[in-house]
A and B are shown apart, each in its own frame.
Chain A
Amino acid sequence: MQGAVEQAQNHLNYLFFPLNSTEPVMSLDRTDVEKIAHLARLGINGQDIPEYAQTLSNIFALVEQMNEVDTHNIIPMAHPLDAVQRLREDCVTETNQRELFQSIAPKTEAGVYLVPQVIE
Chain B
Amino acid sequence: MHTKSLSELSTALHNGDITSVALTQHYLDRIKQYNGELNAYITICEESALAQATDADTQFKAGTAGPLTGIPLAHKDIFCTQGVRTSCGSKMLDNFIAPYNATVVEKLNTAGMVLLGKTNMDEFAMGSSNETSFYGAVSNPWDTDRVPGGSSGGSAAAVAAQLAPIATGTDTGGSIRQPAALCNLTGLKPTYGRISRYGMIAFASSLDQAGPMARSAEDAAMLMQAMAGFDERDSTSVDHPVPDYTTDLNTPLDGLTIGLPTEYFDAGLDPAVNDTIQAAIKQYETLGATIKEISLPNTKLAVPTYYVVAPAECSTNLSRMDGVRFGHRCEDPVDLEDLYTRSRGEGFGEEVKRRIMTGTYALSAGYYDAYYLKAQQCRRLIRDDFVAAFKQVDVIMGPTSPTTAFKAGEKTDDPVAMYLADIYTISTNLAGLPGMSIPAGFVDGLPVGLQIIGNYFDEARLLNVAHRYQQVTDWHQQAPDAFAG
Contacts and interface: CB of A to CB of B under 8 A. Distances in A.
Chain B, interface size category, equals 35 or more
Contacts of A36: 357, 360-361, 364
Contact of B367 (A22, A33, A85, A115): A22
Contacts of A76: 373, 376-377, 379-380
B344 A42 contact: yes
Most chain B beta carbons < 10 A, residue from A36, A78, A105, A118: A36
A110 interface: no
A55 interface: yes
A45 to B, nearest CB: 8
Contacts of A74: 377, 380-381
B472 interface: no
A81 interface: yes
Contact of B380 (A67, A75, A104, A106): A75
Contact of B99 (A40, A75, A81, A100): A100
B298 A69 contact: yes
Interface stretch (B25-33, B257-265, B346-354, B398-406): B346-354
Interface in B292-350: 298, 300-301, 303-305, 307-308, 315, 319, 322-329, 333-342, 344-346, 348
Given A74-B380, A78-B376, A83-B238, A40 B360 contact: yes
A112 B96 CA distance: 19
Contact of B341 (A17, A42, A66, A83): A42
Interface in A75-93: 75-81, 83, 85-86, 88
Nearest to B420: A62
Contacts of B324: 105-106, 113, 115
A48 B366 CA distance: 26
Contacts of A42: 341, 344-345, 348, 353, 356-357
- Chain A at the B interface: mostly helix, strand, loop or mixed? loop
Most chain B beta carbons < 10 A, residue from A55, A66, A79, A103: A66
A101 B99 contact: yes
B58 interface: no
Chain A, interface size category, equals 35 or more
Contacts of A116: 333-336, 338-339
Contact of A63 (B304, B342, B357, B456): B304
Interface string B227-247: 000001001101000000000
B361 A101 contact: no
Contacts of A41: 319, 322, 337, 340-341, 344
Interface in B367-405: 367, 370-371, 373-381, 383
Contact of B360 (A39, A71, A101): A39
Contacts of B341: 41-43
A24 interface: yes
Contacts of B371: 24, 63
A66 B324 CA distance: 38
A77 B379 contact: yes
Contacts of B376: 76-78
B192 interface: yes
A105 B383 CA distance: 42
B357 A52 contact: yes
B234 to A, nearest CB: 10
A88 B415 CA distance: 42
Interface in B216-236: 232, 235-236
Interface string A28-51: 100011001101111110000000
8 contacts: A36-B364, A65-B303, A77-B380, A78-B206, A80-B433, A80-B456, A86-B235, A106-B323
Given A33-B357, A55-B354, A80-B432, 9 more contacts: A36-B361, A40-B344, A41-B319, A43-B345, A56-B354, A56-B358, A60-B358, A77-B380, A105-B324
Interface of A: 15-19, 22, 24, 28, 32-33, 36-37, 39-44, 52, 55-56, 58-60, 62-69, 71, 74-81, 83, 85-86, 88, 97, 100-101, 103-107, 113, 115-118
